[in-house]
Amino acid sequence: MRWRLGIGLGLDAARRGLRALTRFARFCDRLGVSALAQVNRLVLERYLADLQTELSDGQRGVHIGQLNNFLHAVRQHNWENTLPATAVLFPDDHPKRSDRPPRALTEQVMAQVEHPDNLDRWDNPAHRLVTQILIGTGLRVSDALRLKHDCIALDAQSAPYLRYFNHKMKREALVPIDEHLHRAITDQQAAVSGVFGAAAPILLPRPTKNPDGTAPISSNTYRAALHRWLRDCDVRDEHGRAVHLTPHQWRHTLGTRLINRDVPQEVVRRILDHDSPMMTAHYARLHDTTVRRHWEAARKVDITGHTVVIDPDGPLAEATWAKQRLGRATQALPNGFCGLPVQKSCPHANAPLTELTPRSMLVGRSSYSRVGSLPA
């Protein structure tokens, strides 16, 4: 614990490690194992079985990872040279993580959350501003609550950016904001300066037990206020059920919105300040699903205007969808794209451009719903 805290590990992460080792120590006590010299692969396998019977996959992953970190640190720092070489945990010992979709909120819910009348129902202007920041920037709630008082930066064209410290990645980051959010933050700066003076250190100080303005609003305080606000606004989903959301879902919602608006994946990664493109790719997979849903619902026609029937549940659905994506990328045309397989030559010069009849022009302007296909 001293070593982990000394290298800058957060208290929550340190507590997770302590809880995991405490559980392992209790298991060893029940097993009659009283020294590290007795901790071998057989003991670890019995412990994995014990975890399997009592914990969920997510909890097991945390306990296994923390125990593995401990065994590695023992060897790295030579704290105890009696630890057997067979006391090893392998990647296959970790539970397989399910590929869960982003927890983005539906646009029906967001329309209620973002409605000006509902935003006006916040009884605390600081809580309202936190909500606007989370929706508009995708910050984690802990980063938003710890914003510095001078958190606005302007570029050469006077466009505003929000400067914050990404506590997960341990680095400063910038995210562009609109003029509306810029004005809201400026108003909060003025209000805080009126209470704590021009040298106020943070943007969102808690109102009580905070004489010098250095303590921010706590996450628990904001979450409790959020739940009350959702109840007062009677926010409901498409099934008429009361909505219970977490502040982090607004981060997922922003990433999903940007991807679905065809914002390049690298730009989304920079806006959300992801450390790895793989994290942003999580949202890109949803974008492909969204496009395919429209593709399945769209009407496809050939150059004579006859409807081309494609069964989205048929045996060739995946292959047909792959061909559609390839055609969009390699055979784009002003009014759609050519449906002819790319390895074939076309006997009709510019057939999709010159032989489309009015009957074959599809309703709507989206690139995936106006398709001119050649017969097979």
Amino acid present at 159? A
Cβ burial of 263 (10 Å; 0-12, 13-18, 19+) is middle
Confidence (pLDDT) at 128: 97
DSSP 8-state code for residue 3: H
Give the burial string for 92-117 (b: 16+ CB within 10 Å, else e): ebebeeeeeeeebbeeebbebbeeee
In this predicted structure, what is the pLDDT of residue 12? 84
Q: What is the pLDDT of residue 224?
A: 96
Strands across the sheet containing 300-302:
307-308, 300-302, 372-373
Retrieve residue 108's tokens: 């029906």
What DSSP string describes 313-361?
TSTTHHHHHHHHHHHHHHSEETTEEB-S-TTS--SSTTHHHHS--GGGS
What the chain holds in terms of domains, given with CATH numbers, is 2-93 (1.10.150), 107-272 (1.10.443.10), 298-373 (no CATH)
The confidence score (pLDDT) of residue 300 equals 65
Measured distance CA(128)–CA(229) in Å, rounded:
10
C-alpha–C-alpha distance, residues 272 and 101, integer Å:
17
Which three-class secondary structure state does DSSP give residue 164? Answer: strand
173: part of which helix (H) or strand (E)? strand 171-176
Q: Which residue in 265, 310, 270 sits closest to 285, CA to CA? A: 265
pLDDT, one tens digit for every residue, the chain (376 residues): 999 999 888 788 899 999 999 999 999 999 999 999 999 999 999 999 999 998 888 899 999 999 999 999 999 999 999 999 999 999 999 998 766 666 889 999 999 999 999 999 999 999 999 999 999 999 999 999 999 999 999 988 889 999 999 988 889 999 999 999 999 999 999 999 999 998 889 999 999 999 999 999 999 999 999 999 999 999 999 899 999 999 999 999 999 899 888 888 888 999 999 888 888 887 776 666 666 666 666 666 666 667 766 666 666 666 665 666 666 555 556 555 565 554 445 555 455 554 443 333 333 333 333 344 434 3
